[in-house]
Structure 1
Amino acid sequence: MKPKISFKGFKEPWEVSTLRNFFSKVNEKNARMLYSAVLTNSAEYGIIDQRDYFDFDVANSNNISGYYIVQPDDFVYNPRVSVTAPVGPINKNELGYIGVMSPLYLVFKINGINKDYLCHYFKSNKWHKFMRISGNCGARFDRLSISDEQFVQMPIPYPINSKEQQTICNYLEKIDKLISTASSRLASLKQVKEASLQAMFPQKGETVPKIRFKGFEEEWTKVKLNDICFKKASNLSESSLGQDTGQYAVYGASGYLQNISTFDIPSEYVGIIKDGSGVGRTKVYPAFTSILGTMQYILAKEDNNIRFIAALFENIDFSTFISGSGIPHIYFRDYGEIYVMIPSLVEQQAIASYFTSLDKQIALQTQRLEKLKQIKAACLDKMFV
């Protein structure tokens, strides 16, 4: 037994054991109330402090004497299922301190195998089939019920050579660091954009922004939104696209759909979702493209820059214009009447160039992050059995 991808120099076959051979259940409870940090096992973030996850204490600090004590490097199984953890997550306590967890969790120690190797194995989906066969979903279908005796029968494939175990860990940890760095970089860029949107546009009662490009000193002009842009409807529906092919892209609320042989708009425009989920979300789309009828074209009037308008739109709270008791809608006839502040066309162009550059950086960093996540997923699939 060998994985699809293995590191050079390791020729020994892999073995399969049961989790029972490495497992010892933690039964020690917080009876003397020695520990107050209540932990949670998140599918997305791993084991974290409850206060970091929820921003408040979910558990009553006076009622945690029956909670299990979780030491550093202890493993925890959370039976709650989700899209990201279809059989519930298993994670290792990497916080570096002792906490407590609800009796709803299964807490256990691991010996006889590299803990980090096993931690990475549990990030894969290789053990999910066993859990689906051995467990049962609860009445609400949000929790997997599996006995301890069944749980410890889980097969664990692993390389006999401990150096190979560590080599796998080292490689995956490098990818994790790259993902973490890319994620932090993306978050920083988004924070810069959010701050820029606040600082580079006048706030309520102001006639100039806090930050401006050198050379611009004139006060901004107060106008109605419909003085600088206008809307155009789309008659396209997803079903009407059919098998049409061509060189012109069509976009929907979720992104690119397909190419067709015609286009609606010969210039850049802002697409705004006017109906349904995501109503009010905007994005700049390229020239010679089209959007579906659940969206609307926003086009710049003469002497106005569409990318400046796009940035301006990101400062508008469209939720205040939502109507409809079922499917939410927004109408240009409503939000087009609001007053906004605008500068000269030259200053609009300078602001537009800045946000265009920032958006490109965000898009590139998003692509890099997604690529790294794809690489990680492929490694988890091919480096484990």
Structure 2
Amino acid sequence: MNPDAKRFGHGTKFISVMDILNNQFIRYDNIRASVEVIAGDIETYGVNYGDILFQRSSETLEDVGQANVYLDSKPAVFGGFVIRGKSKGNYHPMFFRYLLASPTARKRIIVKGAGAQHFNIGQDGLSKVYLDIPSIQEQEKIAKLLECIDDRIATQNKIIDKLQSLIKGIAQNITCSNKPNVHISECLECSSSTLQESDVFEHGAYPVYGANGIVGYLDNYNTENEAVYIIKDGSGVGTVSYVTGKCSATGTLNILQAPNGYSLRYLYYLLKVFNFEPYKTGMAIPHIYFKDYGKAKIFCPLYSEQLKYATLLSTIDDKLSTEQDILKSLNLEKQYLLCQMFI
């Protein structure tokens, strides 16, 4: 279904590729778009409970043919970049959702994709994908197990979101409830590095950080004890991270350190909620410069008070790291099961 733009915005829910990719499963209420249907649309393009929706095309071969399942009684319709699969036999819809996300199924689907700059898969290609399917009883057991893990993952994500919101809320409360009294340049010293990602190695004694975390290793370092790294240009400009120990930063980061009388950990949490927007320069690639945002004032209480705030926020941050590790373990467990149960 490829309606013109005037028909969008109201009416029946319209399933697009984004609904396939961004939901654990598709329900009527979590479909983003709506469209005004005309006579025959529901009969021709209708999606009902248990139907499988495939992504027809993608900019990368690895994403072509990704699938999801519709689990609602209200009929929806699907768009032109989506392929609908309807039942020809008895199957458990959520089992099929997991089966089609398994590494085995993905490999067999991806090879059916074709294209150069844009990759596509058609109904003929999908129909040639061979998959081993157990009895309906086994399908139900497998689906139930994996749904339990997904529910646990969803709960873990909520725990992480709440901890992140708590840290942000406390830092914003400190900022909003107190009058700024110190220029950033008074409580932080800024330095930079000429190190490039091409200069680092796969192995070494000390980690090297770039805009996206550790990018390699070296046998020497330019930071020891503690530092705040801040991205000074690009899409992540203004993002800060706190590091300890001997390490290095690439040239895309500025290195911030605190003189005596200031807690770097406290300042790190304030910088996480600091508004860098007024200090960004450049059109295509935004930049920030310490000489500019260093003139801004923030609230710095007595050193003893800074330490109290830093200790509180660090405790929550440690809890956040623990919960994030649990999430990683749950995702690894799910991936292991997807590999082992679908061969």
Query: TM-score, structure 1 length as denominator?
Result: 0.75
Query: Shift of the alpha carbon at 1:96?
Result: 5.1
Q: 1:292 is matched with which residue?
A: 250
The alignment of Structure 1 onto Structure 2 pairs a total of residues equal to 328
Question: Structure with the greater relative contact order (CA < 8 A, sep ≥ 6): 1 or 2?
Answer: 1
The equivalent position to 1:105 in structure 2, one of 82, 101, 105, is 82
Cα deviation for residue 162 of structure 1 reads: 3.8
Report % sequence identity. Answer: 23
1:166 counterpart letter in structure 2? E
Residue of structure 2 equivalent to 1:71? 48
Over 3 Å counting, the alpha-carbon distance change for 1:253 and 1:221 in structure 2 is closer
SS of 1:307's equivalent in the other structure is helix
Q: CA separation in 2, counterparts of 1:375 and 1:291?
A: 33
Match for 1:231 among 190, 193, 215? 190
Residues 47/168 of structure 1: CA separation in 2 closer, same or farther (3 Å cut) = closer
Residue 193 of structure 1 aligns with which residue? 167
Q: How far did 1:229 drift?
A: 1.0
- Runs of 5+ unmatched residues, structure 2: 1-10
Residue 89 of structure 1: which of 66, 72, 75 is its match? 66
Match of 1:20 in 2: none
1:61 to 9, 33, 36: 36
Q: Is the 8 A contact 1:223 1:339 kept in 2?
A: yes
Change (3 A) 1:64 1:350: farther
Q: Are the aligned partners of 1:182 and 1:369 in contact in 2 as well (CA < 8 Å)?
A: yes
The 5 A counterparts of 1:157-306 are: 157-159=132-134, 161-202=135-176, 208-209=177-178, 220=179, 222-242=181-201, 245-246=204-205, 248-306=206-264
Q: How far apart are 1:272 and its partner, in Å?
A: 0.7
* Secondary structure, counterpart of 2:281 in structure 1: coil
Cα distance in 2 between the residues matched to 1:64 and 1:272? 57
Normalised by the length of structure 2, the TM-score is 0.84
Worse overlay, 120-129 or 309-318: 120-129
Q: How does 1:362-377 map to 2 (within 5 A)?
A: 362-377=320-335
**Cα distance change on mapping 1:226 and 1:271 into 2, 3 Å:** same
Q: CA deviation at 1:82?
A: 5.8
Tell whether 2:303 aligns with 1:345: yes
Selected match of 2:277 from 299, 310, 319: 319
Give ranges in structure 1 of 5+ residues lacking alignment. 1-34, 203-207, 210-219
Q: Which digits, 9 at most, give the CA deviation of each residue in 1:19-63, with x for residues without a partner?
A: xxxxxxxxxxxxxxxx73334432131454687465xxx444366
Q: CA deviation at 1:64?
A: 8.7
Is residue 116 from structure 1 mapped to residue 74 from structure 2 by the alignment?
Answer: no
Taking structure 1 as reference, are residues 121 and 260 closer, same or farther at Cα in structure 2, changes over 3 Å only? Answer: same
What secondary structure, in the 3-state scheme, does the structure 2 residue paired with 1:107 have?
strand
Contact 1:250 1:259 in 2 (8 A): yes
For residues 326 and 228 of structure 1, the distance between their equivalents in structure 2, rounded to whole angstroms, comes to 31
For the aligned residues, what is the CA RMSD? 2.8
State the SS of the aligned residue for 2:198: helix
Q: Which has the higher helix share?
A: 2
Cα separation, 2, equivalents of 1:108 and 1:244: 48
Larger Rg: 1
In structure 2, relative to structure 1, the CA distance for the partners of 1:317 and 1:162 (3 Å cut) is same
Partner of 2:130: 155
Report the alpha carbon displacement of residue 107 of structure 1 after superposing the two structures with TM. Answer: 2.5
Say which SS state the counterpart of residue 84 (structure 2) adopts. strand
> SS of 1:245's equivalent?
coil
CA distance in 2, matches of 1:50, 1:71: 10
Note the C-alpha offset of 1:326. 4.8
Structure 1 range deviating more: 65-74 or 313-322:
65-74
